[in-house]
Amino acid sequence: MNYRILVAEDDRGLNQGIRLALQKEGIEFIPAYTLKEAKAAWQEKQPDMILLDVNFPDGSGFDFLRMLRGISDIPVLLITANDLESDEVTGLTLGADDYITKPFSLMALRARVENIRKRAHGYRKCLYEESGYRFDFEKLEFYADGQLFHLSASEQKLLKLLVMHPGQTLTREFLAENIWPDGMEYVDENALSVTVSRLRRKLDINGQSSPVHTVYGIGYTWKCAEV
């Protein structure tokens, strides 16, 4: 799966230049030229990082960043023409991961983007956000449609195995061995089925189909419905 970067910059020439400078195998770029387009792209395309201009004709990037930080930890690199210390402080205070001021060298931008990716990689392996779900396996906080719910230790392990292998069918044997690695002989043979059933109930969002799908005779797979 490609790493998606949303480039939210109203200067079309600079937007394209940034995408060309950062272009490499495995990276997909999503351009946005207005704040409205940036918000829509973030919701619909689910990028992994945002390069966010501060000044747009239709609003402030700071306001977008403030909204993002209320619901997401997505890495954000702010881009601005304002060479003011107050803007830098504002951006970092609101939760930006880094800050670069125009005019900047594309080499410096590449270095900053790569640094953010490296810092975020380890944490984002512990974070899942999609289709109304937010699972933070580091903080052990789990949300469905904005509602916090609690999971047992076995349910946490099952959920992490599934979401970290989206679309892949994980066999019952693989799941059982990884959920109860120290004593399968002492675990009831129906334990996995019971754990799956309990997890499905907790993942319910307004009656929509659970992302945990049964592959009969084999095991289970995680697949969120399109929203």
| Residue 184: DSSP 8-state | G
pLDDT number for residue 187: 63
State the distance between the two ends of the chain, measured CA to CA, in whole angstroms: 19
Query: What whole-number distance in Å separates Cα of residue 126 and Cα of residue 100?
Result: 28
What's at 31, amino acid-wise?
P
Q: Do residues 141 and 148 lie in contact, with contact meaning Cβ atoms separated by under 8 Å?
A: yes
Residue 139: other Cβ atoms inside 10 A: 9
pTM equals 0.56
pLDDT above 60 for 185: no
Highest mean pLDDT among 32-46, 124-138, 178-192: 32-46
**Is pLDDT above 70 for 183?**
no
List CB contacts of 184: < 8 A, sequence separation 6 or more. 176, 177
Dump pLDDT digits (tens) for 155-164.
999 998 898 8
Residues 161-175: pLDDT tens digits? 898 888 888 899 889
pLDDT at position 227 is: 40
CA dihedral 166, 206, 136, 49 (to 10 degrees): 70
Contacts of 210 (CB under 8 A, 6+ apart): 200, 203, 204
For residue range 202-224, list pLDDT tens digits in order.
998 877 778 999 999 899 999 87
Residue 52, pLDDT score: 96
The pLDDT confidence band at residue 184, using thresholds 50, 70 and 90, is low
Strand order in the sheet with 170-171: 170-171, 219-222, 212-215
d(CA 53, CA 62): 9
- The Cα–Cα gap between 226 and 130 comes to 10
Longest dimension (CA), the chain: 65
| Weakest mean pLDDT among 4-8, 188-192, 200-204, 208-212 | 188-192
Shortest CA distance to 19 belongs to which of 41, 51, 43, 53? 51
